[in-house]
Structure 1
Amino acid sequence: MIHDQRAEKFRQIVENKFQIYNSLFMSLPYDKMTNIGMLLPFLYEESKIGYEAEKTPEEIVEEFFKNHTDLQTEEQKLELLFKIIQYIERQVVLFDSIEDAAFPNLHSESDSGTITNLFERSLQDHKLEKVREKLKDFSIKVVFTAHPTQFYPSSVQRIIQDLRTAITSDSVTNIDTLLQQLGKTPFVNKEKPTPIDEALSIISYLRYVYYDTIGELFTKIKKTFGNGHFHLHEDIIQLGFWPGGDRDGNPFVTAEVTKKVAGELRSAILKSYYSHLKYIRRRLSFRGVSEVLTVLNDELYAAIFDGKEITVDDILKRTDEAEKILVEQHNSLFLDLLVNFRDRVKIFGTHFATLDIRQDSRVHQQVIDEVYAKIYGDIEVSNEDKFNQLIQISNKVNSDDFEGIVKDTLLTVSQVSEIQQLNGLRGMNRYIISNSDDVKDVMNVYAFFKICGYKDDEIKMDIVPLFETMEGLANAENVMKELYENPIYKKHLERRGNQQTIMLGFSDGTKDGGYLKANWEIYKAKEVLTKISDENGIKVIFFDGRGGPPARGGGKTHDFYASQGKTIANHKIELTIQGQTITSIFGNKEQAQFNFEQLLTAGIENDVFKNAKKDLTEKERKLIIELAEISYQKYSDLKAHPMFVPYLQEMSTLEYYGKTNIGSRPSKRGGGNELKFEDLRAIPFVGSWSQLKQNVPGFFGFGYAMQKMKEQGRFDEVKELYRGSDFFKTLVLNSMMSMNKTYFPLTYYIKKNPKFGDFWNILFKEYNLSKDIMLELTGFSMLQQEDLISMKSVKIREKIVLPLLSIQQYALMKIQKGEGNLEAYGKLVTRSLFGNINASRNSA
């Protein structure tokens, strides 16, 4: 019932507003774009009717030109198509802004998964003390990455923020002028952003969204669950940061860049304190207090602008002084303002967000090999002997003796202590290793610190393996077992409080093993790693590289974490957030607070409110293993199909990802012209399927596995699993969300293609099979029936971008045929890619 009311509200405050403001939009004085708003509906209709009639995108666009324009030359037609893309990009921004503005009206304080709801539930179930107990040692961490799944230039982002405000107050005049500004503001980065640009873009969110959001949420939790004895630890909500620290596959991230970004983070938090303090000083104008706060103000100023050192303790010392005078001489007036400020200083320190270093294990091995050869000559020894000998080294290695990546790696490690000195130990405290599948991958990093001159007790860094391929996940248990038993590493862990963070890569896991298999392997890996860590007295923290869409391991995050049973360690929920997921899920205060709360309560509910549906029975486990194996086989066969990579290369937008200038990182690993599956990055890989409206990684093999069970007369077992296991149910619903964003009619034309027709049919058949069997399993009559708001949002977005997809496919067809102005058609593909990426934000 509540669902229906919300869906109706969505219709009123999102759909209807979009219709109204979109009509404003149509009359805007764009440069040479006066009649686009009139023409666009015709292109939509031609597309919709044309695709259902199995026409090709080329036929559809040509008929649109013929029936609705009098354009003759290719140049005129191309100009119109570029204008249409610009227009649709701005429609997407308008819809985003309307949807964001509606957020507070579509969600309430006591929704499931909120702090208020958790409190009410814990009172009812007499679990209040248990929740307080869990809050004492539980935390969540959201790690922002620069992976480019969406990047508006900052000028456009600012218009979006202002539009949201104008729409909230229904100020038609403001909306009108902002839409005009939007019409004349370029949407495309002329050049690729640098890692510094990416960092600054996300730092602006830290300053203008998260500083207040996290501060206010902390106060809310304190007030909700507080009593005389309850102390809420300041690390309960943490932020992590990858831009400028993540050098995996990004040659533009250097030691110098890392240092600069660390400085920007420090400067940003001090500026936030400085402006917050201004507000407090307006209230605390009392004798004694005012003087202390003026001194603090000057100290912060000197730290920001004159490079003077300031620590957290320096700031807290002043706030304590001010509080003492306030309490003793001024009746504690406005004390809550000072307490609130002090809490934020404890939360954000001088670091704001923890800057991680990440690099690929293969690069590390190259560094170790070169350093070893330099010291000991070219003697043949095992990798194990190399790191063991380098760990024992007594003299610091001089980075100037090397060049390129080796020199930069040594410089990066050497400056860690310097960054920790300025930003505090929370500013940088871990080194993540991509593609980990061996003990040497962790020990090599330990060796780096030793050859850079650190003594054992000076290595104040956690070394974090990232298991992300099927092979890596399968090896994880043996790797960690050996590491926990390694005397050198064991001592290191003791110095780090016997705590080990392990990262698991959903994105590459899904790309490698398919949707169901990847999720199951990660679940299983977490179970064995929990067990082995417990046996060794190690507190294990799992860090999930989840990203955004279900096809990249994302999906409905609260449900996912709330569905993990007692066999998986639950000390902390930690995950990566990127691209459009930053703007759509954590992009403004209301949304960010709601989603931080959802994460926090998922972890607490998991421990406090035990539920049989969270723990898998032996029977359920066996069935999931069977399903995962069948689906993996089906997906592996697809990957091994000789047309798999050529299809993506020739029929999708894969080759154009690197040209969008939305991220600083190259879109594939390795050099060379021949494209290999393992070189594909997860983002362009999944993004290309998404642009084709096929979303293959989000469902392929899943439906087939269930169909096999049905053929064996065992479908009742699958239904029982769906009803009995929250984990399996979440996977099914996420996969259905992925399928709801497919539109195979867009590529019906490929089935007649002599080279790719058969391959396309394999995809289409599996989609139909998966859709039918999941609807039968859930009893739904349509995909995403359980989440009407999300479904409606997806529908509107898909409608907005259909003409964009027609243009993109039209351009790709022209390129395949080698017809006309190929450079211009290539630009059309890239530009439409951009608009489509920005539109597909319903993915977390």
Structure 2
Amino acid sequence: MDKRPINYLESTKKDKKLREDIRVLGRLLGEVLIEQEGEELYQTVELLRSLTKKLRNKPTNQIIYKIKKVIAGLNYEHAYNVVRAFSIYFILVNAADEVHKVRLENNNNKILDDTYLWVIKKLKEDGYSLQKLINLLNKICITPVFTAHPTEATRQTILRKILLLTQLLLHKEFHRLNEDEYQKLLEKIKTQITLIWQSTEIRFHKITVSDEIQRGLFFFKNIIYSEIPNLYSKLNYAVKKHYMKGIEIKPFIEFGSWIGGDRDGHPFVTIDVTKDALQNHQKTIIELYLRDLDILYSHLSPSINIVNVDKSLLNSIEKEKKELGIEITDSNLREPTEIYRHKLILISERLKRTINNSAGAYRSADEFKNDLLQLAKSLINNKGKLIYDNVLKPFIDKVYTFGFHFVKLDIRQNATKINSAIEEILSQSKICHHYLSKTEEEKIDILTDEILNPRPIINFSNLTAETKTVIEEVALIKWGKDNICDLCCEDFVISNSSTASDVLSILLLAKEVGLSKLWNGKIVKSEINIIPLFETINDLRECNMVIEKLFNNRAYKQHLKCRNNLQKIMLGYSDSNKDGGIVTSNYELFIAQQKLTQICDKYNIELILFHGRGGSISRGGGPINKSIMAQPQGSIKGKIKITEQGEMISSKYLLPQIANRTLELISSAVILASAKLWKNKNPNIIAYKKILAQISEKAFASYKNLVNSKNFLNYFRKATPIDIIEHIEIGSRPASRSKGNDLRLLRAIPWVFSWTQNRQTISGWYGFGTAATALVKERKASWEDLREMYTNWPFFKVLIDNIEMVLLKTDMIIGREYAKLYNGNKEIFRLIESEYNRSVKAVLKITNQKYLMDSNPSLQRSILLRNPYIDPISFIQIKFIKEFRKTKNETKKAMLLSLLRSTVNGIAAGIRNTG
């Protein structure tokens, strides 16, 4: 309904080169298919593509019948190759899309409002002096946190080939090639396509946590590490341009990870796995530093015969040679007068000893930084400022960003397991029996007394393995600080947190393992940040009361004082969406942020909100800069943590230029949001919130009516490929926290993944159409009111834009075919389809458009043009799901599962969303 047919979309000048790239890649893929598998496969692919394009222009049952007839004639092997052909097509299209983004950036003469150039210009116009700007930048701290949630369907082997293929496309774009060079480049591209065809895109072994750790490191060491200096150089250029003077920018982006630290419902993240992750991070970053020091050595050749060096540098060299017991001779130094090279040899030696933890190793990253700063000072003092700026400073930026930890590893555990451990500990120590049956106030009193009691209470010999593990998980932070470095690990996230006692439980365990120190009955040292994660609708509604209880607690106040009165709080986008639907989830998240900001301001506590965003719109995804700017005013005061998940990591960070732009988008939005604290609030926001509160209430009721209906769970299990997703080796984590046929036990990620695969995507829009229409019908608001909100309230605009994009990706033609997999009552699909139609109508009324995404024709075209290529994979998936579910033969079942894995990958690549 209301989707513009593809032939209505005229190609624009902007996407002309993109279409040329796609045509070239499609032609090369066709040649590879013929060479590798023969003409028959190529003809089948072309026939299906032709039929599904017709289906998109004029949907009829006759065309659907023809598509099904072609697919019915495919045996397993032929079907598998057809799926792979379309899947690889999407890999190529996605690579072309990424190159096109770079192309548009380079060719755009306008200064976009999400760039450093625009933000710095805006601050200058708003009266920010250079010193005020420096003060603002010094307050910024942005932490993207990479997670291993099972939404990335692409193997690392394929990622490397995609990266190379993308680099070849960029070479074609930005170099003048003669005919011979152009043909050779096409041959290289075709080679990569052939390699992708000959490589399995799916995993036949169970992915391990170690695999995921290596995959995360792939992006950090191959892309992000090198791009950090370029990012700060770009910012400094903007400052120079508008203030006529550059500044010394202190790096304000640090990186976090949950990979190897997140054990919520994950039995394979063991204590040893986490230790291995921390050690792997340190070893990898030091090896990168050693590689860069070799490059620095080749550059830093100033001779003392020509230019002076600081005496302090000379003295430090002599001192360190004695301490390390090494002599710098002609064998490792070509020219003895090149003093900077002397120092670099000593720095390299100390780094090598740091990896081995041997005598002479750096005791901390600060010692390493001080050595580099000594080099920097000497260069600046001795006519080498330009050398410092362009040779040494980029390396120092990396060291300030990554230290000796590379990425900060968060530890996460579920509140239920923590509470069970606390009950056993208190019972075994005879402090309290039946702890879990106590009231919340009683729990708080018991925990507070024990936190402030200096005597230890844990007797390990009497505890169960489960409780010992929870204690050891908290102790991992102490281990990391003692064995890796201070910054490697300090945040403990409590998932499914709902009470103050959940947080105090970790503070008690922190005392027991030595992370907190007492003196005269008071906490005088605390080396842990305890982060409650509020993720259900009810928990979001009550989170401010929980936090206020903590701020008034005598033990927690002392802990906060030791942590510089800083509190991190995580908000869950995924589970709140599964719990309440997209409208209520977004509304309650907005209100929760307002309440938490007010509470923290009241108690003079610095708040850092940790946004647990997923890749898809349903789980908090969407344009990150717009989302940041749409947050409640005052909720971002320079500092923010944000998860980067699944397939969005490769989308945002696989290509260096896109990684750089991603970090610029996030940081420019945070800088601007933090700078605008003094701006007056929009006086209409209060009225807007009242309207949205009513929409949320009605949308919540509509959503709950669907998911709580009698046959819904059976419909979900049959009309989506959830059973296939539960079998495939996308991530190391199980799809559910525990066994059982209860929707609450299913993780939000496979929930969204399943609805994305069957193209019904209810998690991204369900309930909105009913709510908005009912509100207008009841005359509690008008469409004009909603249009005004859309125009004037950034939060509401982002919400509607995101719903609109999901509605365009939703497809009821294909969704209806999946619904036929469920043999029961058709009422549930009727509810979904009618709500879809209502939601489309409501969005079009609010945005004042004729078709979805008319305001963004480039994205509209991209989405619509992908459908004919996704459809054949969907029809194949439906056919073979039926066979998979009815067969009893285990050998055949395994074979079918392999094919179905491939269909999941293909649809995910086509839609560019999984979970």
TM range (shorter): over 0.9
Note the C-alpha offset of 1:101: 2.1
Tell me the amino acid that sits aligned with residue 334 of structure 1: I
Q: 1:236: which partner in 2?
A: 252
Q: 1:703: which partner in 2?
A: 769
Q: Is the 8 A contact 1:660 1:834 kept in 2?
A: no
In the alignment, which of 737, 742, 759 is matched to residue 828 of structure 2? 759
Q: 1:678: which partner in 2?
A: 744
1:569-588 deviation digits (Å, cap 9, x = unpaired): 43323211111110112222
In the alignment, which of 902, 905, 913 is matched to residue 831 of structure 1? 902
Matches within 5 A, 1:179-328: 179-225=193-239, 234-286=250-302, 287-304=338-355, 309-310=361-362, 311-327=364-380
Q: Is the 8 A contact 2:413 2:494 kept in 1?
A: yes
SS of structure 1 residue aligned to 2:487: helix
SS of structure 2 residue aligned to 1:36: helix
Q: 1:25: which partner in 2?
A: 29
SS of structure 2 residue aligned to 1:502: strand
Matches within 5 A, 1:548-627: 548-609=615-676, 617-627=685-695
Note the C-alpha offset of 1:769: 0.9
Q: Is the 8 A contact 1:435 1:466 kept in 2?
A: yes
SS of structure 2 residue aligned to 1:141: strand
1:609-652 deviation digits (Å, cap 9, x = unpaired): 57778675221111111111111111111111112211111111
Q: 1:86: which partner in 2?
A: 84
1:15-74 deviation digits (Å, cap 9, x = unpaired): 2211222111112166545532321121233445568656499955541157xxxx6xxx
Supply the distance in 1 between the matched residues of 2:358 and 2:255 (Cα, whole angstroms). 24
**More displaced stretch, 430-439 vs 271-280:** 271-280
Q: 2:403: which partner in 1?
A: 349
Q: 1:776: which partner in 2?
A: 845
Q: 2:70: which partner in 1?
A: 64
Note the C-alpha offset of 1:147: 0.5
Tell me the amino acid that sits aligned with residue 540 of structure 2: L
Q: Would the alpha carbon gap of residues 306 and 495 (structure 1) be closer, same or farther in structure 2, given more than 3 Å must change?
A: closer
Q: Decide which structure has the larger Cα Rg and report it.
A: 2
Q: 1:379: which partner in 2?
A: 433
Q: Is the 8 A contact 1:147 1:579 kept in 2?
A: yes
Tell me the amino acid that sits aligned with residue 271 of structure 1: E
Q: 2:3: which partner in 1?
A: none
Supply the distance in 2 between the matched residues of 1:290 and 1:137 (Cα, whole angstroms). 35
Tell me the amino acid that sits aligned with residue 912 of structure 2: R
Matches within 5 A, 1:127-206: 127-129=128-130, 131-170=133-172, 171-206=185-220
SS of structure 1 residue aligned to 2:12: helix
Supply the distance in 1 between the matched residues of 2:62 and 2:266 (Cα, whole angstroms). 38
1:784-832 deviation digits (Å, cap 9, x = unpaired): 2222332233233333221111111112234456699555444433321
1:657-694 deviation digits (Å, cap 9, x = unpaired): 1222110000012124xx11101111110111111111
Supply the distance in 2 between the matched residues of 1:654 and 1:184 (Cα, whole angstroms). 28
**More displaced stretch, 184-193 vs 688-697:** 184-193
Q: Is the 8 A contact 1:364 1:444 kept in 2?
A: yes
Q: Is the 8 A contact 2:571 2:609 kept in 1?
A: yes
Q: 2:760: which partner in 1?
A: 694
Q: 2:555: which partner in 1?
A: 488
Tell me the amino acid that sits aligned with residue 169 of structure 2: I
Q: Does 1:504 align with 2:518?
A: no
Q: Is the 8 A contact 1:30 1:184 kept in 2?
A: no
Supply the distance in 2 between the matched residues of 1:603 and 1:646 (Cα, whole angstroms). 44
SS of structure 1 residue aligned to 2:532: strand
Note the C-alpha offset of 1:506: 0.7
Tell me the amino acid that sits aligned with residue 338 of structure 1: L
Q: 1:404: which partner in 2?
A: 465
Supply the distance in 2 between the matched residues of 1:220 and 1:750 (Cα, whole angstroms). 48
Supply the distance in 2 between the matched residues of 1:146 and 1:840 (Cα, whole angstroms). 20
SS of structure 1 residue aligned to 2:157: helix
Supply the distance in 1 between the matched residues of 2:148 and 2:10 (Cα, whole angstroms). 33
Supply the distance in 2 between the matched residues of 1:210 and 1:80 (Cα, whole angstroms). 40
1:406-431 deviation digits (Å, cap 9, x = unpaired): 22222222232231234432211110
Q: Does 1:790 align with 2:859?
A: yes
SS of structure 2 residue aligned to 1:503: strand
Supply the distance in 2 between the matched residues of 1:323 and 1:555 (Cα, whole angstroms). 41
In the alignment, which of 36, 43, 62 is matched to residue 41 of structure 2? 36
Tell me the amino acid that sits aligned with residue 200 of structure 1: Q
Q: Is the 8 A contact 1:234 1:347 kept in 2?
A: no
Q: Does 1:367 align with 2:421?
A: yes
Provide structure 2 residue ranges, at least 5 long, that are not aligned to the other structure. 1-7, 173-184, 303-337, 518-522
Supply the distance in 2 between the matched residues of 1:8 and 1:400 (Cα, whole angstroms). 72
Q: Is the 8 A contact 1:244 1:261 kept in 2?
A: yes
Note the C-alpha offset of 1:730: 0.9
Q: Is the 8 A contact 2:480 2:489 kept in 1?
A: yes
Q: 1:746: which partner in 2?
A: 814
Note the C-alpha offset of 1:200: 1.1
SS of structure 2 residue aligned to 1:149: coil
Q: 1:715: which partner in 2?
A: 783
Q: Does 1:436 align with 2:517?
A: no
Q: Is the 8 A contact 2:80 2:899 kept in 1?
A: yes
Q: Would the alpha carbon gap of residues 527 and 223 (structure 1) be closer, same or farther in structure 2, given more than 3 Å must change?
A: same
Supply the distance in 2 between the matched residues of 1:356 and 1:430 (Cα, whole angstroms). 5
Supply the distance in 2 between the matched residues of 1:380 and 1:648 (Cα, whole angstroms). 39
Coordinate RMSD, CA, aligned: 2.8
Tell me the amino acid that sits aligned with residue 688 of structure 1: S
Note the C-alpha offset of 1:324: 4.4
Q: Would the alpha carbon gap of residues 60 and 451 (structure 1) be closer, same or farther in structure 2, given more than 3 Å must change?
A: farther
Note the C-alpha offset of 1:260: 0.7
Q: Does 1:121 align with 2:119?
A: no
Q: 1:11: which partner in 2?
A: 15
Supply the distance in 2 between the matched residues of 1:344 and 1:105 (Cα, whole angstroms). 27
Supply the distance in 1 between the matched residues of 2:598 and 2:845 (Cα, whole angstroms). 37
**More displaced stretch, 342-351 vs 328-337:** 328-337
Q: Would the alpha carbon gap of residues 131 and 780 (structure 1) be closer, same or farther in structure 2, given more than 3 Å must change?
A: farther
Q: Is the 8 A contact 1:510 1:551 kept in 2?
A: yes
SS of structure 1 residue aligned to 2:643: strand
1:139-197 deviation digits (Å, cap 9, x = unpaired): 22211000121142221111111101111223201101111111111111121221121
Q: Is the 8 A contact 1:30 1:180 kept in 2?
A: no
Q: Is the 8 A contact 2:534 2:572 kept in 1?
A: yes
TM-score, structure 1 as length reference: 0.93
Q: Would the alpha carbon gap of residues 402 and 324 (structure 1) be closer, same or farther in structure 2, given more than 3 Å must change?
A: same
Tell me the amino acid that sits aligned with residue 291 of structure 1: H
Q: Is the 8 A contact 1:132 1:225 kept in 2?
A: no
Supply the distance in 2 between the matched residues of 1:448 and 1:56 (Cα, whole angstroms). 66
Q: Would the alpha carbon gap of residues 539 and 616 (structure 1) be closer, same or farther in structure 2, given more than 3 Å must change?
A: farther
SS of structure 1 residue aligned to 2:527: coil
Note the C-alpha offset of 1:460: 0.7
Supply the distance in 1 between the matched residues of 2:574 and 2:23 (Cα, whole angstroms). 36
Tell me the amino acid that sits aligned with residue 151 of structure 2: T
Q: Is the 8 A contact 1:393 1:451 kept in 2?
A: no
Note the C-alpha offset of 1:703: 1.4
